[in-house]
């Protein structure tokens, strides 16, 4: 049997999606291991989550680097040091440069709290409420050089209620994030994803709603 695939998680804050992925791995649903967690924020709770599960965790301060490219080169070095094959962005509040993208082609995932291509960028829930949509949700996608423009892997929809605030809508969306992000990781690990142009084709036969 092959060795578990090594995942590197980049996070800047709470790390709830990191937790969801770790929980699924520990439950035996994903044949992988989180090999390292890296953050650019020394106060990120993601560091504590990693510590609780015995995962190597590192604070890499972006302010110590002269450019985004130099910082990403340091990220690549640390990720490769831990044998990472899939990079998962879990609330990582940094713009990714080609240095990192080229080191892990079609192997960097992100989750966005909207049904892309609608409402990319920051404050997606606020954008959804201001626009008056009746349905919102979340999207797992591969990362490219654009802002939330990479090939879409999985989406999940949630209703937008008349009395929703940004916080209540975000909470409803987050529940779905914790379901579909681990599933996208599982599909990658099991070679259940194939990218054709801008499309991601799911070749895995297990339902993504399981």
Active site residues: 112
Chain centre distance of CA 72: 17
| Burial class (CB within 10 angstroms; exposed 0-12, middle 13-18, buried 19+) of 97 | middle
Q: Where are the alpha helices (DSSP H) in 82-139?
A: 98-103, 124-131
How far apart, in whole angstroms, are the C-alpha atoms of residue 28 and residue 42?
30
Q: How far out from the chain centre does Cα 97 lie?
A: 16
d(CA 201, CA 23): 26
Give the neighbor-by-neighbor strand order of the sheet with 5-11. 57-59, 32-39, 5-11, 86-90, 108-112, 135-142, 152-159
* Cα 30 from Cα 28, distance rounded (Å): 6
The answer to whether 6 and 83 have CB atoms below 8 angstroms apart is yes
């Amino acid at each position: 049997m092959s060795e578990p695939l090594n995942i590197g998680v980049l996070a800047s804050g709470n790390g709830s999606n990191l937790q969801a992925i770790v929980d699924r791995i520990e439950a035996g649903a994903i044949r992988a291991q989180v090999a390292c967690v890296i953050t650019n924020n020394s106060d990120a709770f993601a560091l504590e989550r990693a510590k609780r599960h015995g995962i190597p965790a590192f604070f890499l301060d972006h302010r110590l680097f002269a450019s985004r490219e130099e910082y990403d080169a340091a990220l690549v070095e640390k990720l490769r040091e831990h044998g990472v094959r899939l990079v998962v962005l879990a609330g990582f509040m940094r713009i990714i440069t080609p240095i990192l993208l080229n080191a892990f082609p079609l192997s960097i995932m992100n989750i966005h709290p909207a049904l892309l291509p609608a409402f990319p960028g920051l404050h997606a829930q606020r954008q959804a409420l201001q626009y008056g949509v009746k349905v919102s949700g979340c999207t797992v996608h591969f990362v490219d050089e654009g802002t939330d423009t990479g090939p879409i892997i999985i989406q999940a929809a949630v209703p937008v209620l008349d009395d929703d605030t940004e916080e209540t809508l975000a909470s409803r969306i987050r529940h779905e994030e914790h379901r579909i992000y681990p599933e996208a990781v599982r599909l990658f690990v099991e070679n259940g994803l194939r990218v054709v142009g801008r499309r991601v084709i799911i070749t895995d036969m297990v339902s993504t709603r399981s």
